[in-house]
């Protein structure tokens, strides 16, 4: 690792601060190693260093590590979010094109992204909302949770581009959000789904993955109904298998504004109609 040139892109922020556009994970990894928060594992060439932290290295090796140069390209303050997104996309586009959430991981790294990632490790969420490994490895779980928070708060302002909608939302929340309230909303929604939906967010007991449109409809619909009635206790929910619900959540259901609104409010209204 130490012998390879590693390019990073930075953009000027305010004062003497810099914001990493590309390379955030690598910089955080180096920082963790230098602060003894990372233990070397699975090294194939330098096997004798497996299990080492930075402080375990001999002094001469520490000094050599510290002398390594990081190459940087500094963007001017005129490089807005759209420019940074474009640059990150160009840098990381190859034979295996990055998914939208993988790009956000690099461009919008911050406290809110870390919070969304933390939610993705929730055991109840993993049980109720299974995602196959291929999709999970491409940040699908964090994509779903970001959609839950964004649509829960602003689905009525959504127009036609999901990616733009989510980019704007995560940028707004980046380092300024009510973590305690969002955590509560997320966990209350999961508790309700766990208590009343027999298959969680899945279509059936044997399903091994969860589709976005179904997750959006159920999670946001539940959240909106709980906002109106926190003590909601529905009778048997028999509309999950109805043709009407299926039409709202088929894989071909588009992300047009009317259809996003319709599938979310269908679930909300069904639950509120059933309140006791």
Q: Is there a contact between 229 and 188 (Cβ–Cβ < 8 Å)?
A: no
Q: What are phi and psi of 145, to 5 degrees?
A: -70, -40
Any idea where the domains of the chain sit in the sequence?
A: 1-79, 110-276
pLDDT tens per residue, range 200-220: 999 988 888 898 999 999 999
Amino acid 182: pLDDT: 97
Read off the pTM: 0.67
Amino acid 216: pLDDT: 95
pLDDT bin (cut points 50, 70, 90) of residue 20 is low
Closest CA to 76 of 68, 88, 84: 84
| Cα distances (angstroms) measured from residue 273 to each of 155, 196, 203, 268 | 21, 15, 22, 9
Distance CA 140, CA 197 (A): 22
The dihedral over CA atoms of 89, 151, 168, 126, expressed in degrees to the nearest 10, equals -40
pLDDT tens per residue, range 179-196: 999 999 999 999 999 999
Q: Supply the mean pLDDT for the chain.
A: 83
Give me the mean pLDDT over the 14-40 stretch: 77
Give me the mean pLDDT over the 250-265 stretch: 83
Closest CA to 84 of 15, 167, 147, 4: 167
Distance CA 130, CA 240 (A): 18
Distance CA 198, CA 195 (A): 8
pLDDT tens per residue, range 96-141: 556 778 777 767 778 998 999 999 999 999 999 999 888 888 888 9
What is the pairing mode between strands 71-75 and 18-22? unpaired
Top mean-pLDDT range of 14-28, 30-44, 64-78, 145-159? 145-159
Amino acid 276: pLDDT: 40
| Cα distances (angstroms) measured from residue 122 to each of 116, 136, 223, 243 | 10, 14, 17, 31
| Residue located via tokens 């096997």 | 47
Q: What percent of the chain is predicted at pLDDT more than 90?
A: 46
Indicate the DSSP class of residue 28. H
With a CB cutoff of 8 Å and minimum separation 6, the contacts of 210 are: 129, 130, 131, 144, 200, 201, 202
Top mean-pLDDT range of 1-5, 149-153, 239-243? 149-153
| Cα distances (angstroms) measured from residue 132 to each of 117, 136, 141, 190, 207 | 17, 6, 10, 19, 10
Of the candidate ranges 36-45, 118-127, 130-139, 249-258, the one whose mean pLDDT is the lowest: 249-258
**Quick check: 14 pLDDT over 80?**
no
pLDDT bin (cut points 50, 70, 90) of residue 22 is low
**Quick check: 242 pLDDT over 70?**
yes
């Amino acid at each position: 690792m130490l012998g390879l040139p590693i390019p990073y892109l930075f953009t000027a922020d305010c004062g003497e601060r810099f914001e990493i556009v590309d390379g955030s994970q690598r910089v955080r990894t180096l920082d963790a190693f230098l602060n003894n928060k990372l233990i070397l594992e699975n090294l194939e060439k330098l096997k004798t260093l497996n299990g080492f932290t930075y402080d375990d290295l001999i002094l001469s090796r520490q000094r050599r590590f510290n002398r390594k140069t990081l190459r940087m390209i500094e963007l001017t303050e005129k490089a807005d979010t759209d420019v940074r997104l474009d640059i990150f996309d160009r840098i990381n586009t190859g034979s295996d094109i990055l998914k939208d959430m993988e790009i956000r991981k690099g461009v919008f790294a911050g406290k809110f992204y870390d919070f969304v990632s933390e939610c993705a490790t929730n055991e109840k969420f993993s049980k109720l909302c299974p995602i196959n490994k291929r999709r999970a490895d491409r940040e699908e779980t964090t994509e779903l949770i970001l959609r839950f928070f964004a649509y829960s708060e602003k689905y009525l302002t959504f127009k036609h581009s999901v990616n733009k909608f989510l980019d704007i939302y995560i940028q707004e929340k980046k380092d300024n959000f009510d973590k305690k309230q969002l955590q509560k909303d997320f966990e209350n929604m999961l508790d309700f789904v766990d208590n009343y939906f027999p298959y969680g967010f899945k279509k059936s007991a044997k399903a091994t993955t969860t589709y976005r449109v179904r997750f959006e409809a159920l999670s946001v619909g539940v959240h909106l109904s709980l906002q109106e009635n926190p003590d909601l206790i529905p009778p048997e929910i028999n509309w999950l298998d109805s043709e009407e619900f299926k039409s709202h959540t088929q894989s071909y259901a588009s992300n047009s504004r009317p259809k996003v609104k319709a599938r979310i409010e269908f679930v909300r209204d069904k639950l509120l109609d059933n309140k006791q």
